[in-house]
């Protein structure tokens, strides 16, 4: 199994990351927050090792607790449930991807025409999903949260913005959902694992879809 990229920054590098869950009251000693960050990093290290050794199926709250040598309740307090834990593992690559399309070099980042950025966005998402498909599938939110999860909203909002710029007369809000469906990890799994389609074919299909929606602009 291919090595999985580090899912998190070291505790001292997480100042701009997600807010950590508090284990005590706000009047507790100042070192609590640093301890919570170190404990969170330790749990994610253990979970990343399990993914590398056994795949996402090997990541359970019990297994992570055992690997990190803590009680199971500690894992639940940090992440809520298994989906929350797996989402935290994806957080590092999510932040890198968002930074790339928000402020990275073109064509994925600013500076290229909107349709070209949209093509680059889809190709980058496809490559990212294929590379961590096992984990993305395991972290899929339940149907009532799938489209309201903050990472999905950020990605879809970016697609809608590029659509408004590339095709001003189109229903960018509705079409952004359609285009994001093409990038769903569930569909990518079906097409690559069950239908045997190559990543190159999926990328070409994405480019064709974008060209049809935007008129090839």
Considering only CA atoms, which of 122, 216, 114, 199 is closest in space to residue 165? Answer: 114
Quote the number of domains for the chain.
Answer: 2
Same domain, 111 and 198: yes
Q: Is the pLDDT of residue 169 over 70?
A: yes
Q: Is the pLDDT of residue 38 over 50?
A: yes
| Parent domain of 181 | 104-214
Mean pLDDT of 134-143: 87
Same domain, 33 and 127: no
Same domain, 122 and 189: yes
5 falls within a domain:
no
d(C-alpha 137, C-alpha 114), whole Å: 29
Mean pLDDT of 156-184: 96
Pick 88 or 29 by higher pLDDT. Answer: 88
Mean pLDDT of 145-155: 91
Considering only CA atoms, which of 155, 152, 156, 159 is closest in space to residue 117? Answer: 159
Report the CATH number that the domain containing residue 43 is assigned in CATH. 1.10.10.60
Respond yes or no on whether the N-terminal peptide bond of residue 213 is cis (omega within 30° of 0): no
Task: Among 50-59, 65-74, 93-102, name the one with the lowest average pLDDT.
Answer: 50-59
Same domain, 39 and 119: no
Residue 128 pLDDT: 94
d(C-alpha 57, C-alpha 1), whole Å: 13
204 falls within a domain:
yes
d(C-alpha 39, C-alpha 43), whole Å: 6
127 falls within a domain:
yes
The encoded tokens of residue 125 equal: 């998402």
Same domain, 77 and 109: no
Considering only CA atoms, which of 104, 132, 133, 135 is closest in space to residue 120? Answer: 104
d(C-alpha 87, C-alpha 101), whole Å: 20
Same domain, 70 and 138: no
Residue 23 pLDDT: 28
Residue 217 pLDDT: 66
The encoded tokens of residue 192 equal: 């690559």
């Amino acid at each position: 199994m291919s090595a999985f990229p580090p899912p998190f920054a070291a505790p001292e590098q997480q100042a701009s990351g997600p807010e950590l869950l508090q284990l005590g009251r706000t009047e507790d000693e100042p070192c609590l927050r640093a301890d919570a960050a170190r404990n969170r990093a330790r749990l994610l290290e253990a979970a990343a090792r399990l993914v590398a050794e056994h795949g996402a199926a090997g990541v359970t709250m019990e297994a992570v607790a055992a690997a990190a040598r803590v009680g199971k309740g500690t894992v639940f307090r940090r992440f809520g449930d298994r989906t929350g834990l797996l989402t935290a593992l994806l957080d590092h690559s999510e932040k890198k991807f968002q930074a790339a399309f928000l402020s990275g070099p073109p064509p994925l980042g600013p500076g290229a025409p909107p349709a070209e950025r949209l093509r680059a966005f889809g190709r980058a998402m496809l490559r990212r999903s294929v590379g961590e498909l096992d984990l993305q599938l395991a972290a899929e939110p339940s149907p009532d949260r799938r489209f309201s999860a903050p990472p999905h909203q950020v990605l879809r909002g970016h697609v809608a913005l590029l659509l408004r710029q590339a095709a001003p007369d189109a229903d960018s809000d509705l079409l952004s959902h359609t285009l994001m469906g093409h990038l769903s990890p569930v569909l990518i799994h079906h097409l690559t694992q069950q239908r045997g389609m190559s990543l190159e074919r999926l990328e070409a299909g994405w480019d064709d879809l974008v060209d049809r929606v935007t008129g090839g602009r």
